[in-house]
Amino acid sequence: MDLRSVFLGLSFALMWSSAFASARIIVLEAPPLMTLSLRFFISGTVAVGIALLLKQSWRLTKAQWRAIVVFGLCQNALYLGLNFIAMQTVQASIAAIIASTMPLLVALVGWVFLRQRLPIVALLGLVTGLVGVLVIMVPRLHGGLDPWGVLLCVLGVASLTVATLSVRNAVSSGQVLMIVGLQMLVGSAALTVPALLFETWNVTITPLLASAFVYTTLVPGLAATVIWFVLVSRIGAVRAATFHFLNPFFGVALAAVLLGEQIGLIDVLGVAIIAAGIFAVQVSKQTK
């Protein structure tokens, strides 16, 4: 793996993980679905506009249109929508930890339902990662962690898992910005209906809220997604996904630094166990 790919992978992991801290700031001051729909509309419009300037085409394959719809609904509307709602009562660090288990769930679903063979290292990594989740979640639930918020986060990462398994290898690197932008516009449209039905816009725009919204729209919302597709086109999906093992570390650390969330030794131990499990699962895929 060349140095540029390493830099892209580290950048993606840091941007992806930072989204939870900025989202937590947003949902404590504004309705989650309305702000998320607006975020997708802005970032999607920007991405499509840049794509058109770069002469990228609307003429996509059926597989690409399927990827756009599935990812727009499952990743943008369901995964992020459920997480934004959950983070009204659940800390950013908890949401980041649950979301970071996606590679483990992809391996688990592939093994149980799709009959995909897993090497022994992957099976050990899968068990290790799930144990790490229990190490963190059991004491937190007994300590008053909102179980409804946790359930929403779990449903969110499950929908992201479905999207990941459904559209593997469907995205062409030559149309990255166009596909990313259209995915976001699909997510925006899907979120608009429940946002108008269940939420009201009664918001005092503060510098903190505005800066968090701009950041989450442009950095984890747009830049991280583009970087991910570029990374996949350079080194392949399996090797790129190895960088997911950094997400628990970055997510918890950023929540502690930016939001002052309390992190105990049990949390650090659980994060390390989860990261080891993710790393084992991803490395086993490279050595099959």
Q: What is the pLDDT of residue 11?
A: 94
Query: How many CB atoms lie under 10 A from the CB of residue 50?
Result: 16
Token duo for residue 216: 């989450």
122-135 confidence digits (pLDDT tens)? 889 889 988 988 88
Residue 184 pLDDT level (bands cut at 50, 70, 90):
very high
CB 271 within 8 A of CB 133: no
Q: What is the pLDDT of residue 122?
A: 85
212-260 confidence digits (pLDDT tens)? 999 999 999 888 888 887 887 777 766 777 787 788 889 889 999 999 9
pLDDT over threshold 80, residue 139: yes
Q: What is the pLDDT of residue 101?
A: 86
- Averaged confidence pLDDT in the chain: 87
Q: What is the pLDDT of residue 233?
A: 76
19-38 confidence digits (pLDDT tens)? 999 999 999 999 999 999 99
Residue 170 pLDDT level (bands cut at 50, 70, 90):
low
- Rounded-to-integer distance, Cα 198 and Cα 180, Å: 27
Q: Global pTM?
A: 0.88
pLDDT over threshold 70, residue 152: yes
DSSP H helices, 71-175, are 81-86, 92-99, 102-112, 120-142, 147-166
Q: What is the pLDDT of residue 237?
A: 65
Half-sphere exposure of 201 (CA within 13 A, CB side): 9
The domain limits of the chain are: 3-286
